[in-house]
Amino acid sequence: MTNKMCEMFGIELPIFAFSHCRDVVVEVSKAGGMGVLGMARMSPERVEEELKWIDAHIDGKPYGIDVLMPTTFVDNSDRKYDPEHLLPQTQVDFVRKMLADAGVPELPKSEADEIKREIVKGINFTPAESLQMIETALKHPIKLIVSGLGTPPVELIDRAHARGIKVAALAGKAKHALKHKQAGCDFVVAVGSEAGGHTGDITSMVLWPTIVDAVAPMPVLGAGGVGNGRQLAAALVLGCEGVWTGSLWLKTAQSEVMPEIKQKMFEAEAGDAILTKSVTGKPCRTLRNKFSEAWELPGAPPTLPAPTQNYLWWQEGRTRVERAKAKDFLTYPVGQIVGEMKEEISVKETVYQLLNDMLEARERFDNIL
């Protein structure tokens, strides 16, 4: 394939794969697309480790990084190692009671503090924390920096451009896409509501062409709901220069998802990818689970702002439920394509399936015309 995005990065396929897993990043780039490593759950030391590994395995193919730079957030990063003062007692008690009632064991007392310390080290949600990780990443041959939440600062864009690195940002509304364009981004990712992770409320079918028109001639990647080649073809037909995908890679043999959660995904329907603030404090599409549902029940306290709710989920909830493999509570960000994710296959096979499917869609379209 060849278009603006292929030319921008010297890639064969305008298929961008967001993943927190370095193996997926490497495999997608090697298959001709572009792997982008999500660093939101990493400390700067871990970023160094992961990028070193990628550099050693990616055969010189291009790859990128993704960070979170939200415009609205509570900056309590200086208190993140002090859970007693960071997390309000009402919400902590609510979660502890919920898990105790469900029989989910507490973390072993001797390890709890250390586990919680390690967890918060990897939760980097503020622009300042993201900039620290970017400093580390700039020592590696990255070709792309993407901001997952919010317009990247102009100074960062200028610095990246001076090194030949492209910059992009995600947008769920045309006005956000225009802000990214004005700041100097090279392209935008239009994220429809069906996407896994943080997402807005406008669906891809409506959002993609709106953003394509709003920022033209700047290229746009269509994201949210791309799980097969028909959806890839639709994105191209709607004017996108390629796709940005996340959920699709969670089912692969290389993904970071624990087997019990993968199984839960294979059993899920599209409607089980629910939008909830219970995981991060911002609307995030994630696999249906009892933790998220509990916050919707009468008498539940309000969720906390981002990223405090994220600390709460990881420190008091996620680690406990994953250790206990408590199925009802297990969750992971995933989009509505989860309903089509039925079996584990490799990253390479996933790429081939996307292409074969896309060609079939083209044939169907050609026949109609």
Strands 284-287 and 197-198: antiparallel
Site for ligand FMN in 20-49 (CB under 6 A): 38, 40
Instruction: Rank residues 19 and 91 by Cβ distance to ligand FMN and give the closer one.
Output: 19
User: Which one among 18, 63, 295, 313 touches ligand FMN, defined by CB under 6 A?
Assistant: 18
User: Which one among 221, 337, 351, 358 touches ligand FMN, defined by CB under 6 A?
Assistant: 337
Site stretch for ligand FMN (CB under 6 A), options 114-122, 152-160, 179-187, 242-250: 242-250
Q: Given strand 197-198, what is the order of strands in its sheet?
A: 197-198, 284-287, 273-276
- The residue behind tokens 């792309």 is 144
- Reference 19, options 35, 32, 31; nearest CA is 35
Strand partners, 170: 189
Closest separation in Å from C-beta 19 to ligand FMN: 8
User: Which one among 13, 51, 54, 334 touches ligand FMN, defined by CB under 6 A?
Assistant: 334
**125 scored as a contact of ligand FMN (CB under 6 A):** no
Site stretch for ligand FMN (CB under 6 A), options 70-78, 154-162, 191-199, 211-219: 191-199
Ordered alpha helix ranges (H), the chain: 4-9, 22-30, 44-57, 83-86, 89-101, 109-121, 127-137, 154-162, 174-183, 204-215, 229-237, 259-267, 290-294, 308-312, 319-324, 347-368
Site string for ligand FMN, 198-237 (x = CB under 6 A): -------------------------xxxx-----------
**245 scored as a contact of ligand FMN (CB under 6 A):** yes
User: Which one among 62, 196, 200, 307 touches ligand FMN, defined by CB under 6 A?
Assistant: 196
Closest separation in Å from C-beta 307 to ligand FMN: 12
How many angstroms separate the CA atoms of 254 and 205, rounded?
Answer: 30
Chain contacts with ligand FMN (rule: CB under 6 A): 18, 38, 40, 66, 68, 148, 170, 191, 194-197, 223-226, 244-248, 332-335, 337
